[in-house]
Amino acid sequence: MHATEQGTAEFIARRSCGPGHARSALGLTLSSLGMGSYLGKDDDAVDALYAEAVRASLAAGINVIDTSINYRHQRSERALGAGLRAAFAAGEARREEVLFCTKAGYLPFDRSLPPDPHGWLFRTWVESGIAQPREIVSGCHCLAPRYLEDQVARSLANTGLAAIDVLYLHNPEQQMDQVSPGEFLDRWRAACVLLERMADLGRIRFYGAATWNGLRIPRGAPGHLHLESLVRAAREAGGDRHRFRVLQLPYNLAMLEACWEPTQSVAGRSIPLTQAAAELGLIVFSSVPLLQGKLTRGAPDDLRKIYPGLATDAQRALQFVRNSPGIVAPLVGMKSVAHVAENAVVFHEPLAPAAEFEKLFSRYE
């Protein structure tokens, strides 16, 4: 069971969230804001908060849920899974209405940081035969097929879901800390082959890349990811109907590269990442829309003027991202019902017309 065209459309139709909230992507109807789950202590109290917050998110009209197996040492996956299962059991939503996304790549701990982290990682991942030492970069990152297959199985067990809608390879540019660009592409292609098989088996629906620097830094910079080459490798792995369809990267008032800087080339033309993604058949979610709290205050007056119905600078920063071309939805960390309530206000406020928004953006160039 996974997100479906009919299910996601029915979910959004049951909520009155204002124009601009429903976003068509991947053949689905998705909310214009997603729930993230990166921050918080690794304890039972935060687990409970996330389980409650995911139910509140569904009630508010959010059907994009984002996490990673390594967030809070696998606890975020488990907490969100518990909250989703409770919501499904209570009839608050159905599985086919929700796009559930997680990530694999970093070697995760289990519930808490052990006294001997390096030894624990070695025993768990290397001595077990799940990963070979040469496949692990910087002591913490692996894209080897056997390792990724293990991570998909663990994520399914953590969440209690039958399938993952989007499985991101987490910061794949980390591999280029130790391997050449050619070796990186070989590793990426092998990962794509594995993920295409996972999709054929129904364990995932789509896969993607969730990056920090790789897609937004200039071409030629160390760790730069050339999207056209990644798509070519995915096509070699899965044919023209490959399931590499989703990207995630930072974009906010202070990190504008995704929409506005020509960091990518497609067919020899230099264009921004969001344009390249659209031309190559991928969609884009943005991470850190509030820059981990740094953009929740101090908004300039022109941002307040263009969104007069919003009461907080955090809401205005989210609305800026929702308004940006080529972004399906910002993913914002929400570990309390109060966070959900404050953020969901943006659904009910109109977006700025394109011409006004472009004038606003010129303020930040």
| Number of folded domains that form the chain | 1
Reported as a single tens digit per residue, the pLDDT across 10-61 is: 999 999 888 889 999 999 999 999 999 999 999 999 999 999 999 999 999 9
The CATH number for 231's domain is 3.20.20.100
Structural domain that includes position 77: 5-362
Distance CA 249, CA 258 (A): 8
Q: Using the structure block, give the residue that is written with the tokens 């031309």.
A: 279
Per the CB < 8 A criterion, the answer to whether 285 and 32 are in contact is no
- How confident is the prediction along the chain (365 residues), in pLDDT tens digits per residue? 899 999 999 999 999 888 889 999 999 999 999 999 999 999 999 999 999 999 999 999 999 999 999 999 999 999 999 999 999 999 999 999 999 999 999 999 999 999 999 999 999 999 999 999 999 999 999 999 999 999 999 999 999 999 999 999 999 999 999 999 999 999 999 999 999 999 999 999 999 999 999 999 999 999 999 999 999 999 999 999 999 999 999 999 999 999 999 999 999 999 999 999 999 999 999 999 998 878 888 878 888 889 999 999 999 999 999 999 999 999 999 999 999 999 999 999 999 888 888 877 665 55
The H or E element containing residue 280 is helix 273-280
In Å, how far are 17, 329, 347, 349, 353 from 20, measured between CA atoms? 8, 11, 8, 9, 11
Distance CA 113, CA 75 (A): 12
Reported as a single tens digit per residue, the pLDDT across 56-99 is: 999 999 999 999 999 999 999 999 999 999 999 999 999 999 99
| pTM recorded for the entire structure | 0.96
Distance CA 52, CA 79 (A): 9
pLDDT above 70 coverage of the chain, percent: 99
